[in-house]
Structure 1
Amino acid sequence: MCPVGVRTSHSTHALETGVAKLWLLLVGVNQYEDEEIPSLQYSALDCQGLGEALHAATQAFPQKEVIIYNDFASKQPKLANVLTSLREIAAVTKPIDTVLFYFSGHGMLEPSTQQVILCLQDTQKSNLIDTGLQLQEVLQLLENCSAQQQLLILDACHSGGMTLLGARGEVDPQLNPTPELVEILRQRAAKRKGFYALLSCDRSQQSWEFPQLGHGVFTYYLIRGLKGEAADSQGIIEADGLYRYVYHQTLTYIDKANQQLRVINQLKKGRGDNSIHPEYPSQTPKRIVEGVGEVILGIKPKNIPASRHPRQALIVEGLDQSQASLSLSKILSTAGSFAVNYWTIRGNNSQSNVRKAIQKCLLAESFAELTTNSPNIDTIATVLLYLRGQIQETEQGEAILLLSDEVTINRAWLKKQLRRCQSQQIIILDCPIENGGGKVSLRDWLEELQLGLDAGQCLIAAAVSPENREKFANTLLATLNQGIQASGLTAAAWITQLQVEFAQTDIQLYFWLSGSQGIIEVLPGKTIFSSENMQEKAENIHNYPPDDLSSEVGIDYAYLRDLLQAQRWQEADRETTNLILKVVEKQPYLDIDTINKIPCKDLYTIDKLWVSYSHGRFGFSVQSRIWEGIKDCAATDPMLALMIGSAKVAASETCIDFANRVGWRLRDYWLDYNSLTWEGDAPMGHLPYVGFFEPIWRVKVLGVWEWHSAIATANWWELCVALFRRIETCKNGSSI
């Protein structure tokens, strides 16, 4: 759940005037002299990048000392060097000073004493006590230190590299000291008000390095936060604000990675490929602090250089100019942060000019000057190409996209340009099909344009009839508008929304998603909102027409509306359960007969409020559309089908599929109620939760919530299906 913040006064006077001094000791270890301790790829880069970010954030503080030990620095991360610096800092600091100690590398448990050891470059696994940095010794030195503000940041539970297709290498059980770390730091925090500890992960978790980030995910967001994204409205970067930022961003990154993985797995299943990739394990940054206090780390740096990776988009309109394509270009420019070029095929726009425009968009990153060898911390290069025309075949059998009588794009030529492109790609084909299309096949186009599993590529197309040719573009636009959230919109989430939207239509959606080196963002997340934007948002709320709060049985829905308007999602969810039970006068849970008696007007009111205030993200009707897209799946476990029947197995498997899509499950486990995501950027259909159904399918086994049986799962799912069918019944009766 979202952590509760520590109240701060945001006073920086002592640091800005030089009365107080900021001491920064940063340590990062990649390579170990002992071959039995596995090397890491990014700990030294983490240390180096964090040092640069802290230097920028503390420019306004005249009194500071930065000591950095890592593989790339002149001072190597050896035990004697780090201990000497810790002792010197402890001896000279004043009470008004602030001390920050950061470590990125392996943490280990000493087998005989169970002490937590921070492994330095010269640490020997066979003699951890004498050659490693004992955490208790670090804490004792800080205890002897006069500085009243002390911050300890540990990224010490690494488990090797991770790509967007899974983890690499086996994990040494000795390399997971998180339970002991948490306990030791809790004891330390209880003794001193000004002590503040940040850990990269919680108990039973480990820290992950993602090559596509060029850093460990925890430190990656520490760096971005210190570059200004974690600053408050006054530009102050304080430890608790930095933690909240890193907490949400780390969880969001893992969630986005899982979104992308689910779509890739869906494609693999559709092709009969059973090599399904497991979802990524959670990494939840943890804060340990007692009492009320503040630890100020810096001020938002000014004049941060812009990323060298512009996001390029090209809209090519080969049909009559469409308002939808114009609106699409606007939303890509504003919410998508793309540099958008809009082309209509008329006048002097010849075939050669169109090809040059496509090449300029796709190859922009190829022509960019590389000013550094280190990975860019801000933005991954992304191109978006939207082509609107008619696909045809020439008499010679060549596949072409007809933009006008004189302008065509050859599929083979387009594929060649895609292969030359070094950026992530989002390619959209809006191509009405005449009379079924004959030999023309959008599926063939998508299969031919695919670059392989590792390339960062998203392909989207839909087969629509000429008389309904605006439907696809309008749906693209609508789902993009729904996706404007603080966390942004990934290509995987966009595909999922489009699947839901087209599930009940005769429009066939085609898509492809690949990429092991990064998450493809259609709309990047926004972490900073200006006061002007917040004021504009508040004013827009008052411009909406009054909500329809009508009820067939005299229920007052004003409180639910107020909770949803305030985005108090968990309280609104509980109020929804109470109202549903009140409407049908049934306690404590609903059965199928009662579900079928829910008044349509009341069901409409509740659903409309959820859909409206979540901008189309939550609501029973949203969940119903997701169900429509998966409800006809057949059972895949023949042995279990023989035992309990195919219908029960299919219902159980559909239930699990649905729960995975809406985020009620995490990997192989169901989340308990309090662990659901109570944020506006939760997965589509995540809320409201059906708390008015009896959870008969859960038993507690060794502290883990699991399914009791496939039969119980299927029985519970029948209740959900009854609710979705009630929604459809009301909708068909023009009541919802």
Structure 2
Amino acid sequence: MCPVGVRTSHSTHALETGLAKLWLILVGVNQYEDEQIPCLRYSALDCQSLGEALNAATGGFPQKDIRIYHDFAQQPSFENIRTSIKEVAATAKSIDTVLFYFSGHGMVERSIQQVVLCLKDTQKDNLIDTGLKLQELLQLLENCPAEQQLLWLDACHSGNMTFFGARGETPIDPQFNPAQELVEILRQRAAKRKGFYALLSCDRGQQSWEFPQLKHGVFTYYLIRGLRGEAADSQGVIEADGLYRYVYHQTLAYIDKANQQLRVINQLKKGRGDNQIHPEYPSQTPKRIVEGIGEVILGIKPDKTVAIRHPRQALVIDGLPKSKSALALSKILNTSGGFEVNYWTVSEKTLALDVRKAIQKCLLSESFSELPTSANVLEEIATVFLYLRGQIQETEQGEAVFVLSDNVVINRSWLRKQLRRCRSQQIIILDCPVVSDSCVSLRDWVEELQLGLDVEQCLIAAAAPSSESERFAASLVETLNKAIQKSGLTAAAWITQLQLELSSIDIKLYFWLFGSQGVIEVLSEKTLFSADTSQQKTEDVDDLSSAVGIDYTNLRDLLKAGRWLEANEETTTLMLKIANREEKRYLDLASLENFSCSDLCTIDRLWVKYSHGRFGFSVQKRVWESIKDTSGGDPVLALMIGNDNVVACQTCIDFANRAGWRLKDSWIDYSDLTINDDAPNGQLPYFGFFEQAWRVKVLGVWELHSAIATASWWRLCVALFSRLETCQK
């Protein structure tokens, strides 16, 4: 749920009615003119994204002044920032609210022990005259009559560090760590003013970390997510203390996950005799400084909800007899892992080309997706999850292959090539129940699929005896289920748990983990601060089962996007393919009577699910059942063509009227069919896979010319409904 606001005392009504004004001054500095001050990677983006989050949250406040200064907007120079603060201090009224945010370097001027915020043109050798002294900033705010004042500082950066820029690798100039002085000065300030509320990115003696994977400093990253709604309470309100607790918890959790990953990477390095061990990250503990408990409102629920870019894709392919554990794994990835999941069971009729296309689609989905451009898009970390269950073999030519069925074989060199093309984080699972000992070949697979030190990749493989062919998949599910109730699960933690789980079982586990940019997460963290639990994902994974090797992912994606007419065309194409009637172009009674139950039910489930019960064969079947007892109404016509034909013709027309296929006693041409929110239940799928009854054009309107033709066409519809009823029993 999006935020209603960050609240303190009586400011809400005044802000909502426009009596009070919200002043926002946001500053972010990446590039410094003085080469002695290290440049940062993400401060400018921190500032820009935080401004977008605040702007979205404060959409209900008519009186608002947002001033943003960073490398890509108005320049964050000393003169620009000081002038802006003075203008706000001179203009703001007592009922107003002022927020000042800074992301960049803070330094301590040693001669007078003052903290200085470094702006673009700050000179290290002349901090007092070229930097924004914290005491000066606080004095300007002291002179400002606004009763509610918030100060957010991400000013203790560790410098231009990567994921492995941990303790001991790069010495840090103590002058660039003003955390202790910041805490003391802000505490003194808070003691003087009840409406003053400060948030610091870290506590005394600590530093703030930037992570390339997050594309932000970790503190500001969670400020942004919190304001987007993740820190909201059950009513959708974000309180200042609630926001702080959310940022505090998430920041500590992320650093802990980064260290978990480092420990597994170091374990692998030691196993290879590599003594270049990465030291772990020191703690980063966000700090709150406030006297008493205030309620400061910074926003109300925006009119438009925040869209979430969804680049977590998973593909589970079971090439052995259908595994309950593999299906359970798919469901967990979907409901708790936040993955878009495709689940495949490989049959004798499954084509190897279709499987390879599905693997490519999963691995390359992020590579071809459009980057978010809207301020109302919250970007997630791109991750792909690929699970393959089959046999490791070698061909007569000595080529390593993964066998999913007699017809579906994946070459190791081909899979490695696809992994290299993938731009997302990778979690690859090879589940290989074996008849004989082939552990060495499986180890070779893990070694060969490793992509080096510049790719975020987790490989997990197991060779189980045939007597326990389900055990490894079951262990995957068990360890994931245990983690669901906790604070998420990283790939590193999963590997550790699997090592413990399988240590007493005759199952060989092989793994590889490397991430130089950030943490690889299997299950996203579920926190107590996620307010609207009713909106947590509970939908089941789509069962895309096919008895004839049909790939339903395109139909699923079209339906999910609400592209109804395109989905209808895809349905027609698939129905003809399933019945092997692509050349004939139309289904007949015989093909309907033998139509694959698995495929008919899959198509119907997808239509019903993504139309929220409005469309689908089963919906149309219910409409038919409500009218199928209609008796013939024209005895003369009944004598001519038979009562059964009259009943079928009239039922067809009645159904078509209810489904929106006819208008004012005339049939609507398919090209003129429009689908909107008011579309009648059962309007789609349109039965374009049946040969249309003979039509003639009369006065510009298409009419069914023959009652007998109409009755014959309707019998095909009834055969489809009857087949569905048989399949659903």
Q: Same fold (TM over 0.5)?
A: yes
Where 1:164 maps in the other structure, the secondary structure is: coil
* Residue type of the alignment partner of 2:259: N
| Structure-1 separation of matches of 2:496 and 2:322 | 28
Deviation at 1:278, TM superposition (A): 0.4
Of structures 1 and 2, the larger Rg is shown by 2
CA contact (8 A) 2:313 2:341 kept: yes
| Cα displacement string for residues 197-242 of structure 1 (whole angstroms, at most 9, x for unaligned residues) | 1111100011112122111111111111111111222222232221
* 2:210 matches 1:209: yes
Structure 1 partner of 2:503: 503
Stretch deviating more after TM superposition (367-376 or 164-173): 367-376
* 2:96 matches 1:97: yes
CA contact (8 A) 2:7 2:240 kept: no
* Residue type of the alignment partner of 1:38: P
Structure-to-structure mapping, 1:502-581, within 5 angstroms? 502-527=502-527, 528-532=530-534
* 2:20 matches 1:20: yes
CA contact (8 A) 2:53 2:224 kept: yes
* 2:134 matches 1:132: no
Structure 1 partner of 2:398: 397
* 2:488 matches 1:488: yes
Deviation at 1:373, TM superposition (A): 11
Deviation at 1:333, TM superposition (A): 0.9
CA contact (8 A) 2:52 2:375 kept: no
Structure 1 partner of 2:454: 454
Structure 1 partner of 2:356: 355
| TM-score of the superposed pair, with normalisation by structure 1 | 0.69
Decide whether aligned partners of structure 1 residues 24 and 272 sit closer, same or farther in structure 2, where only a CA change above 3 A counts.
same
Deviation at 1:76, TM superposition (A): 1.7
Deviation at 1:533, TM superposition (A): 7.6
| Structure-1 separation of matches of 2:227 and 2:207 | 23
CA contact (8 A) 1:194 1:293 kept: yes
Structure-to-structure mapping, 1:469-480, within 5 angstroms? 469-480=469-480
Structure-to-structure mapping, 1:290-329, within 5 angstroms? 290-301=291-302, 303-329=304-330
Structure 1 partner of 2:270: 269
| Structure-2 separation of matches of 1:8 and 1:99 | 12
Structure 1 partner of 2:149: 150
Decide whether aligned partners of structure 1 residues 301 and 374 sit closer, same or farther in structure 2, where only a CA change above 3 A counts.
closer
Where 2:307 maps in the other structure, the secondary structure is: coil
Decide whether aligned partners of structure 1 residues 7 and 376 sit closer, same or farther in structure 2, where only a CA change above 3 A counts.
closer
5+ residue gaps in structure 2? 1-5, 539-729
Deviation at 1:304, TM superposition (A): 4.1
* Residue type of the alignment partner of 2:132: L
Decide whether aligned partners of structure 1 residues 121 and 515 sit closer, same or farther in structure 2, where only a CA change above 3 A counts.
same
Stretch deviating more after TM superposition (400-409 or 363-372): 363-372
| Cα displacement string for residues 598-642 of structure 1 (whole angstroms, at most 9, x for unaligned residues) | xxxxxxxxxxxxxxxxxxxxxxxxxxxxxxxxxxxxxxxxxxxxx
CA contact (8 A) 2:179 2:204 kept: yes
| Structure-2 separation of matches of 1:10 and 1:367 | 49
Deviation at 1:376, TM superposition (A): 8.4
Structure 1 partner of 2:117: 118
CA contact (8 A) 2:456 2:515 kept: yes
Decide whether aligned partners of structure 1 residues 139 and 82 sit closer, same or farther in structure 2, where only a CA change above 3 A counts.
same
| Cα displacement string for residues 532-568 of structure 1 (whole angstroms, at most 9, x for unaligned residues) | 489x9xxxxxxxxxxxxxxxxxxxxxxxxxxxxxxxx
Structure 1 partner of 2:343: 342
| Structure-2 separation of matches of 1:374 and 1:267 | 41
Structure 2 partner of 1:199: 200
Structure 2 partner of 1:278: 279
CA contact (8 A) 2:115 2:178 kept: yes
Deviation at 1:369, TM superposition (A): 2.2
CA contact (8 A) 1:214 1:375 kept: no
* Residue type of the alignment partner of 1:253: Y
- Calculate the aligned-residue CA RMSD, in Å: 2.3
Deviation at 1:395, TM superposition (A): 1.4
CA contact (8 A) 1:107 1:118 kept: yes
Stretch deviating more after TM superposition (156-165 or 46-55): 156-165
Where 1:86 maps in the other structure, the secondary structure is: helix
Decide whether aligned partners of structure 1 residues 166 and 33 sit closer, same or farther in structure 2, where only a CA change above 3 A counts.
closer
Deviation at 1:170, TM superposition (A): 3.5
* Residue type of the alignment partner of 1:108: M
Where 1:44 maps in the other structure, the secondary structure is: helix
| Structure-1 separation of matches of 2:375 and 2:454 | 21
| Structure-2 separation of matches of 1:351 and 1:380 | 30
* 2:449 matches 1:421: no
Structure 2 partner of 1:330: 331
CA contact (8 A) 1:161 1:208 kept: no
* Residue type of the alignment partner of 1:369: E
Where 2:160 maps in the other structure, the secondary structure is: strand
Deviation at 1:146, TM superposition (A): 1.2
| Structure-2 separation of matches of 1:245 and 1:200 | 13
| Structure-1 separation of matches of 2:465 and 2:533 | 45
| Structure-1 separation of matches of 2:443 and 2:469 | 18
| Cα displacement string for residues 564-602 of structure 1 (whole angstroms, at most 9, x for unaligned residues) | xxxxxxxxxxxxxxxxxxxxxxxxxxxxxxxxxxxxxxx
* 2:234 matches 1:227: no
Deviation at 1:400, TM superposition (A): 1.1
* Residue type of the alignment partner of 1:256: K
Where 1:55 maps in the other structure, the secondary structure is: helix
Where 1:280 maps in the other structure, the secondary structure is: coil
Decide whether aligned partners of structure 1 residues 118 and 7 sit closer, same or farther in structure 2, where only a CA change above 3 A counts.
closer
Decide whether aligned partners of structure 1 residues 45 and 374 sit closer, same or farther in structure 2, where only a CA change above 3 A counts.
farther
| Structure-2 separation of matches of 1:462 and 1:181 | 51
Structure 2 partner of 1:287: 288
CA contact (8 A) 1:30 1:42 kept: yes
| Structure-1 separation of matches of 2:30 and 2:79 | 18
Structure 1 partner of 2:387: 386
Stretch deviating more after TM superposition (64-73 or 166-175): 166-175
CA contact (8 A) 1:489 1:524 kept: yes
Structure-to-structure mapping, 1:66-85, within 5 angstroms? 66-73=66-73, 75-85=74-84
Decide whether aligned partners of structure 1 residues 99 and 532 sit closer, same or farther in structure 2, where only a CA change above 3 A counts.
same
Decide whether aligned partners of structure 1 residues 367 and 79 sit closer, same or farther in structure 2, where only a CA change above 3 A counts.
closer
Deviation at 1:509, TM superposition (A): 1.1
Structure 2 partner of 1:253: 254
Deviation at 1:526, TM superposition (A): 2.7
* Residue type of the alignment partner of 1:195: F
| Structure-2 separation of matches of 1:505 and 1:227 | 46
5+ residue gaps in structure 1? 1-5, 537-736
Decide whether aligned partners of structure 1 residues 124 and 532 sit closer, same or farther in structure 2, where only a CA change above 3 A counts.
closer
| Structure-2 separation of matches of 1:274 and 1:375 | 46
Structure 2 partner of 1:45: 45
| Structure-2 separation of matches of 1:507 and 1:478 | 16
* Residue type of the alignment partner of 1:471: R
Where 1:158 maps in the other structure, the secondary structure is: coil
Deviation at 1:339, TM superposition (A): 1.1
Deviation at 1:65, TM superposition (A): 0.5
Structure 2 partner of 1:86: 85
Which one has more relative contact order, counting CA pairs under 8 Å at least 6 apart? 2
- Equivalences, count: 529
CA contact (8 A) 2:7 2:239 kept: no
* Residue type of the alignment partner of 2:121: D
CA contact (8 A) 1:108 1:119 kept: yes
| Structure-2 separation of matches of 1:129 and 1:283 | 28
Structure-to-structure mapping, 1:45-64, within 5 angstroms? 45-64=45-64
CA contact (8 A) 1:197 1:287 kept: yes
| Structure-2 separation of matches of 1:517 and 1:309 | 20
CA contact (8 A) 2:391 2:433 kept: yes
Decide whether aligned partners of structure 1 residues 399 and 434 sit closer, same or farther in structure 2, where only a CA change above 3 A counts.
same
Where 1:183 maps in the other structure, the secondary structure is: helix
CA contact (8 A) 1:160 1:169 kept: no
| Cα displacement string for residues 237-273 of structure 1 (whole angstroms, at most 9, x for unaligned residues) | 2322211111111111101111111111111111111
| Cα displacement string for residues 170-200 of structure 1 (whole angstroms, at most 9, x for unaligned residues) | 4222111111111111111111111111111
